[in-house]
Amino acid sequence: CQTGEVAADPQLYDQSYLSPVTIGNSELMLDFDTGSADLWCFSTESPAAQSAGHGLYNPSTGTELDGAFWDITYGDQSAASGNVFADKVVVGGVTATKQAVEAATSVSYEFTEDVASDGLLGLAFSSINTILPQPQTTFFDTVRNSLAKAVFTVDLKKGAAGSYTFGYIDSSKYSGAITYVPVNTANGFWQFTADGYSAGGSDSSTGRGGVAIADTGTSLLYLPASVAKAYYSGIQGATFDFRQGGYTIPCSATPPDFNVAIGGKTFTVPGSYINYAPLRAGSSTCFGGIQADTGIGFSIFGDVFLKAVYAVFDDSGSSPRLGFAAQ
Ligand SMILES: COc1ccc(CN)cc1O
């Protein structure tokens, strides 16, 4: 029975978190993404102009999946595509001997520019894996039956290294009880229902809850437009800046804490997490960590939320569930 733990290293402004993964005989830094289901990496097949500065997977250690190709586009319209090899993948000591490794032959500029990241490791449900003609399993699904318990946990931190564990829950990482809620897998995400939101110490609710996904691969917290509007109405100098594509606040602001009710429990995101980052280096205007989920179709509980809690992605029972506890 396998168990393992790997560090989650924050990038600038906690824009993403990277973890070391051994693929074949290379160690790469991958962005673990519970919002997608492809394990892809820069490779010796990637054009040099696109892969300069990145760690590369050399498929010579793998076995090509003949005729298999992949092509993925993310919510931010970044994209990547390539071919597929079966190879050994090790995460924190947990080994998948024949994992589908998606070698990139083309990536969009957003990935080229993010030189710290060598690719993504998808942890959503394998039903949304993009490999054709036959979708393959995620790392978690590949090793699931060999784990002591079919779970993985997410313990992200603000501006500090957190961790992912596979196969066990670490009771030293959270306080109080874990609150579990059912997951709807119809869209391939870890999708759940949030009960409601409120700002600051007041119980003045900023709105009813709704459908949401837990997504480590998204930096911010995207909520119903009415909830975001109500939240920022309480911050002096906050405004919706069409040019920046979202709410901005003065970097000098102290936003109120933000409360989320899930499964009858309230989880608090410290207001400081919502003073996200200067629009550009030296700017006194900061981008808000809460934004409207307009056009997405559901709310996205990205890293701004996840770094305030301990999260359990549990597929050990008759149907998947999510657990949340205070950190
Ligand atoms: C350009 O960088 C990314 C784009 C999309 C995702 C997945 N939500 C993760 C990334 O690091």
Calculate ∠ Cα 118-122-124, nearest 5°: 165
Q: What is the pLDDT of residues 51-108, one digit of tens each?
A: 999 999 999 999 999 999 999 999 999 999 999 999 999 999 999 999 999 999 999 9
Catalytic residue among 14, 215, 293, 303: 215
Q: What is the pLDDT of residues 96-127, one digit of tens each?
A: 999 999 999 999 999 999 999 999 999 999 99
Measured in Å, residue 9 CA sits from the centre of ligand 1 at 15
| Residue 78, ligand 1, Cβ within 6 A | yes
Residue 38 CA to residue 22 CA, distance in Å, equals 16
Complex prediction ipTM: 0.96
Q: In the predicted model, what is the mean pLDDT of the chain?
A: 97
| Residue 31, ligand 1, Cβ within 6 A | yes
Q: Which of 77, 81, 110, 301 to mutate to test the pocket of ligand 1 (most atoms within 8 A of CB)?
A: 110
Residue 218 CA to residue 75 CA, distance in Å, equals 9
pLDDT of residue 97: 98
Closest to 54 in 3D by CA, of 37, 31, 88 = 31
| Residue 113, ligand 1, Cβ within 6 A | no
Active site residue 33: yes
Calculate ∠ Cα 223-226-227, nearest 5°: 50
| Residue 108, ligand 1, Cβ within 6 A | no
Nearest residue (by CA) to ligand 1, atom 8, is 217
Binning pLDDT at 50, 70 and 90, where does residue 133 land?
very high
Looking at ligand 1, which atom is closest to the CA of residue 111?
1
Measured in Å, residue 113 CA sits from the centre of ligand 1 at 11
pTM of the model: 0.98
Mark out the alpha helices in 25-95 (DSSP H runs).
48-51
| Residue 218, ligand 1, Cβ within 6 A | yes
Question: Is the pLDDT assigned to residue 260 strictly greater than 90?
Answer: yes
Catalytic residue among 33, 141, 293, 303: 33
Residue 310 CA to residue 153 CA, distance in Å, equals 7
DSSP 3-state assignment of 318? coil
Nearest residue (by CA) to ligand 1, atom 7, is 217
Nearest residue (by CA) to ligand 1, atom 4, is 78
